[in-house]
Amino acid sequence: MPSRSHEIPLRLIQNRPETVPVLLREALGYPVPDHTEAVLTSSVLTNCDPKEWNADGAVLLRDGDHPVLAVAVERQNRPDDRKRFSWPAYLATLYGRLECPTVLIVLCPDEATAQWCAQPIETGHPGFTLRPLVIGPDTMPVVVDPAQARALPELAVLSAHAHGGHDGRVLRALVEALDSAGETNRPFYYDYVLAGLNEAARKELEGLMSVDTYEWQSDFARKYVGIGREEGREEGREEGREEGVANSVLRILNKRGLTVSDDVRERIRSCDDLDTLNSWVDRALDIDRAEDLFD
């Protein structure tokens, strides 16, 4: 059962915080300071006032015992004017708590949201303008090197979700990444990427992950991928793209051991709006009851 997190991109960073400096350097050209490690730090940005500031995630880069950079990480699915006020507070709170340079990374699933998030935030104080560092599909690093994918599978998953629909090399690297991601994370990473691909890319990935063409290193992976491939073939024959994503939602709920009533199952299968279905894929990863999917 997966750990509770905002959604998969944040789970990737929580599982492998060293993904963050790579994103800063390769996606944004940010001059990452020399450091010896990247560790998770508390994302609860609370001060003495009643107001609580909670980022989606936070990573601290240290050089030995010395903090050199704090990174607040946000996953933003759509424009939200309230963030224009909370994001500066996140940085100010982290800066005061950790006493080191602090930056904000915002991960966006589409370029329209990325452009909105990148707009400067004028706080009113002279010179105090926050320009969020935004990563959308166009700026996500492209991971095609199998060695890099195995060393940092979480980055390869983010890359495949952004670029897998039009670059087969990324999908081939993803296969290597999934094989080194660990049995707990592998099915959720696979479902996350698969749900975001077009039909042609889905079939290509399922073919690459076939037990007939790739020698998986664990019985769990061989069994899971074999089942996923057969389900994918059946979906490709009988259902369209929306039905395929709906099945991904149901697979995630079932893998997490949640009870799915007939009413919930029917509502998921009858939905023909792809954006709604993709949002349900994300929510299915961290809800406590299947009925909460629709809240």
- Residue bearing tokens 């990247």: 38
109/192 Cα distance (integer angstroms): 12
CA dihedral 241, 247, 252, 258 (to 10 degrees): 150
The whole-number pLDDT of residue 219 equals 47
Per-residue pLDDT reduced to its tens digit, 197-229: 888 888 888 777 764 445 544 444 444 444 444
180 and 153 Cβ atoms separated by less than 8 Å? yes
The whole-number pLDDT of residue 83 equals 93
123 and 95 Cβ atoms separated by less than 8 Å? no
24/232 Cα distance (integer angstroms): 35
Comparing 128 with 295, the larger pLDDT belongs to 128
Query: Which of the four pLDDT bands, split at 50, 70 and 90, describes residue 145?
Result: very high
Q: Which domains does the chain have, with CATH numbers?
A: 8-135 (3.40.1350), 146-294 (no CATH)
Per-residue pLDDT reduced to its tens digit, 111-128: 999 999 999 999 888 899
Q: Is the pLDDT of residue 102 over 90?
A: yes
Q: Is the pLDDT of residue 106 over 90?
A: yes
The whole-number pLDDT of residue 249 equals 85
Comparing 1 with 124, the larger pLDDT belongs to 124
Q: How would you class 257 by CB atoms within 10 Å of its CB: exposed for 0-12, middle for 13-18, buried for 19 or more?
A: exposed
The whole-number pLDDT of residue 45 equals 65
Q: Is the pLDDT of residue 232 over 80?
A: no
How far apart, in Å, are the Cα atoms of 229 and each of 16, 116, 152, 206, 221? 27, 37, 25, 5, 12
